[in-house]
Amino acid sequence: MSLRLANARIVDAFGERRGDVCVEGGKITDDAPCDATVDVWGMVVTPALVDMHCHLRDPGYPLKETMESGMRAAVAGGFGTLCAMANTLPVIRTPEQVMANEKKARALGLCTLVQAAAAGVDLKDETPTDYEALSKATRVISNDGKTIFSDAFMRRLLEASAQYGFIISTHCQPEREIVARDLKLLREVGGRLHIGHISARETLEMIENAKAEGLKLTCEVTPHHLFGFDNDYKVNPPLRHKEDVRALIGGVKRGVIDCLATDHAPHTPEDKRAGMAGISNFDYALGVFTRVFRENDIPLTTLSRMASYTPSGLLGTGCGRVAPGESADLLLFDPDAAWTIRKRAMRSLSHNTPFAGRRVRGRVLAVMLRGEVVYRAGEKNATDG
């Protein structure tokens, strides 16, 4: 069946316009007669969000999150594609494990999963995994959750990324020192470096200087590092100071920061009481981004570029534009709607957040993936169980 979303405010990385979006056979089609029409006057139709960095805890940690619970929260938050890190139990380190998790995701019929694989056996920077074999199964290799301290290991990983074409997603603690080391190695040997969850003004400055030199790399920022500061809530890297938040927002405006990513990292209440780092934010990440962007006069086209088009290109998922022939992975949302983050309303199994009670902006109304509606606000549907 073909469907027309009529009178939409269409937003993607390439601009904003008023018009209709037609969907048939899982694709966006040229304007043509459709079997059904839904008038979405005034609402934004934009590509579904693509998350470069999250933790689904699957396999191995069902009390924290399962793939299904995480994806139900993600689609309700506007996400269509997730890149999940490899710090599972067992650690995902083989092509067979990558493919098994992606097969499990396809069976759920929710988000598209790009499963990252570990750079080192057991997430250690000692014994490398099989980079050549893994590069045929995934675009992303990462020890995220653990820092690669060995210079020799990181050098070899960068060399392998250049040779086999995968992206290295890094976890840098201490942030400034490890980012400086990685940029130095990138200058020496090249490679495909993606710096995860930057949080500090000095880090941004190093990245901006490196890009000005002509170094090829990408980086990401999370909603909590654009929204929270001077708060001791345990996340890695920590929430910094107000001047760091201002600097990161400036980096978004100047195009230094490439991607918006959640680093959704669910934990049980017992884990958090024991001091484990992590935040759950699939449910409200778009609300944070929309509020921060509006308050700082950053257009929705930039949000779409950073949260859909650029990460889609890095992950090779082939979405991120509202144009004929593109995959009908679409988000319908009201950017003007203000609402309050409530723990009891979160769909993730984990409700660990310091932002309960905070007001955000931008309510998800519906999400369509591969031409099928997988979430519709206010109705019992695929995301409500």
35, 180: one domain: no
Residues 161 and 246 in one domain: yes
Mean pLDDT in residue range 182-195: 98
The answer to whether residue 385 is domain-embedded is: no
In a domain, 322, yes or no: no
Tell whether 181 and 255 lie within a shared domain. yes
What per-residue confidence (pLDDT) applies to 272?
A: 96
The count of structural domains within the chain is: 2
Predicted pLDDT at 318: 83
Instruction: Look at residue 274 and tell me if it is in a domain.
Output: yes
Confidence of residue 379 (pLDDT cuts 50, 70, 90): low
Tell whether 28 and 144 lie within a shared domain.
no
- What's the CA gap between 242 and 19, in Å, rounded? 40
pLDDT at 381 over 60: no
The domain in which residue 42 lies consists of 3-46+328-349+361-376
Q: Of 156, 220, 148, 157, whose CA–CA distance to 177 is shortest?
A: 148
CATH number at 33 reads: 2.30.40.10
Query: What are the tokens at 39?
Result: 């008038």
Contact 117, 98 (CB under 8 A): yes
- The candidate with the shortest Cα–Cα distance to 225, out of 194, 254, 203, 192, is 203
d(CA 122, CA 88): 10
Structure pTM? 0.96
Does 217 reside within a domain?
A: yes
CA distance 25 to 207: 42
| 8 Å CB contact between 322 and 10 | yes
pLDDT at 380 over 60: no
Q: For 97-121, write each residue's pLDDT tens digit.
A: 999 999 999 999 999 999 999 999 9
Catalytic residue list: 263
In a domain, 354, yes or no: no
* pLDDT, averaged across the chain: 96
- Do 218 and 92 lie in a common domain? yes
SS3 label, residue 128: strand
**What pLDDT does residue 241 have?**
98
Residue 80 in any domain: the answer is yes
Residue 191 has pLDDT above 90, yes or no: yes
Q: What pLDDT score does 319 carry?
A: 84
Query: Rounded mean pLDDT of 367-382?
Result: 82
What's the CATH code of the domain at 241?
A: 3.20.20.140
131 and 8 share one domain: no
219 is a domain residue: yes
Assess whether 54 and 171 both reside in one domain: yes
- How big is the CA angle at 62 (ends 60 and 66), to the nearest 5 degrees? 100
Q: 383 pLDDT band (50/70/90 cuts)?
A: very low
Compute CA 28 distance to the chain's CA centroid, rounded to the nearest angstrom.
23
Instruction: Give the contacts of 125 (CB within 8 A, at least 6 positions apart).
Output: 119, 143, 146, 148, 149, 150, 153, 154
Mean pLDDT (whole number) for 278-299: 98
Over residues 33-49, mean pLDDT? 94
pLDDT computed for residue 382 by the predictor:
36
Q: How far does CA 138 lie from the centroid of its chain?
A: 16
Query: Are both 37 and 55 inside the same structural domain?
Result: no
Q: Which two tokens stand for residue 136?
A: 């045929």
* Nearest-angstrom CA–CA distance, 77 and 286: 7
Same domain, 158 and 292: yes
CA distances, 209 to each of 180, 201, 215, 250, 306 (Å): 11, 12, 9, 14, 20
Which tokens belong to 378?
């206010």
User: What's the token pair of residue 357?
Assistant: 């009670």
User: For the segment 218-277, what is each residue's pLDDT rounded down to a tens digit?
Assistant: 999 999 999 999 999 999 999 999 999 999 999 999 999 999 999 999 999 999 999 999
According to DSSP, the residues that pair with 330 across neighbouring strands are 47, 368
Q: Judge residue 77's burial from the number of C-beta atoms within 10 Å of its C-beta, 0-12 exposed, 13-18 middle, 19 or more buried.
A: buried
Q: Which residues, 6 or more positions from 181, have their beta carbon under 8 angstroms from its beta carbon?
A: 151, 154
Instruction: Specify whether 228 is located in the same domain as 369.
Output: no
Q: Rounded distance, CA 306 to CA 304, Å?
A: 6
Q: What is the mean pLDDT of residues 293-305?
A: 98
For 308-346, how does the pLDDT look when each residue is reduced to its tens digit (9 = 90+)? 999 999 999 988 999 999 999 999 999 999 999 999 999
CA distances from 289 to 29, 55, 251 (A): 29, 19, 14
What is the model's pLDDT at position 375? Answer: 97
Residue 338 lies in a domain: yes
| 306/336 same-domain check | no
Residues 11, 62 within the same domain: no
Q: Is 145 left (phi over 0), alpha (psi -120 to 50) or beta?
A: left
**pLDDT (mean) for 146-159:** 98
Tell which residue, 332, 313, 337, has the closest CA to residue 374.
332
Q: Which residues does 249 contact at the CB level (< 8 Å), separation at least 6? A: 226, 292, 296, 298
